[in-house]
Amino acid sequence: MNQQNNANNLSEKAVSALPLLKTAIDEVKKSVIGKDEIIIKSLLAVLTGGHILLEDIPGVGKTTLATALSKVISLTFKRIQFTPDVMPSDVTGFNIFNRQTSAFEFREGAVFSNLLLADELNRTSGKTQSALLEAMEEHAVTIDGVTRPLPDPFIVIASQNPTGSVGTQLLPESQLDRFSIKLTLGYPAISDETAILKMKSGGEKPMPTSVITADNLEILQHTVKAVYTDDKIYAYISELVSKTRNTDKLRLGISTRGSLALSAMSKAVALLRGRMFVLPEDIKYIWFDVTSHRVIISQAAKLSGDTAKSILQDIINTTPIPKI
């Protein structure tokens, strides 16, 4: 009887969360046209407290998407434009001597916010990129030996230009692994491009409004964590991850951090679909977004014409789906 009551309570949580999530998606769509799936996956990452990496050519709406998300979710928001001259202290903060008090005072950097938009992260130096490593993993920064906690929640939405673009340098694997998902917007369809032109050339532009408060987000994140995952699903995730580590086609497989992100994201997918339990189809939905930036293809696989996507596609296709 108690199990039945718990199941009913969980189902009610899923049903009550859906209207708020759908309203949030509709608000973001006011600014971002024709990228519904990207919007949904970005919101799913926020629900898990994960960081988002947006990779694409300049001018297709990466910053617009990040800004719209920050407005829909009523949290403190800061943006930092990464250029070669940005210093680590601009990100984390620094101590400055106050002559009046004869003491050092701490000045907060951009990371002291709930949502940090790290624009064109791969245009800055490796030293400055690494300033985000502790913040993204530990939700804290250490300056002059003192560790300072960041606001809760703390989410990084970073954009980067494609590898090889002028003035860019690769993000280290350790930093890429800290992003829950990597998304690519791509060029808009002709009809969407037309709609964007009309919207931008008009007088008043529709602006998204805040629909998720800090309290709402905390409740939603707790609800995501409560989504049930069967042992067979955990075993399925472990099997998928293990195959990326034991193939000659990849010289770097998915880390344990990656498998944790896959599990968390699949719970968020289930909730958005009105369920409080994970199915294999939920994992398939976000498989490439969670894994593509965490693997490195081997030279032999490159010469054979394989790509990271084709290799990951083969793994998900050939792994037996558990019966739940």
- For residues 102 and 312, what is the distance between their CA atoms, to the nearest angstrom? 59
- CA distance linking residue 132 with residue 136, whole number of Å: 6
Q: Quick one: pLDDT at residue 58?
A: 79
Per-residue pLDDT at 6 exceeds 80 = no
Structure confidence by residue, pLDDT tens digits, 192-210:
899 888 888 876 677 888 8
Q: Which fold, 10-200+211-226?
A: Rossmann fold (3.40.50)
- Residues ≥6 apart with Cβ < 8 Å to 301: 248, 249, 250, 311
- What CATH number does the domain located at 228-324 have? 1.10.8.80
Domain boundaries, the chain: 10-200+211-226, 228-324
The b/e string for 280-295 (b: 16+ C-beta within 10 A; e otherwise) is: bebbebbbbbbbbbbb
Task: Report how far Cα 171 is from the mean position of its chain's Cα atoms.
Answer: 15
Split at pLDDT 50, 70, 90, the class of 61 is confident
Asked if 10-200+211-226 and 228-324 have one fold, the answer is no
Residue 11 pLDDT > 70: no
At 168 the pLDDT is: 76
pLDDT at 110 over 80: yes
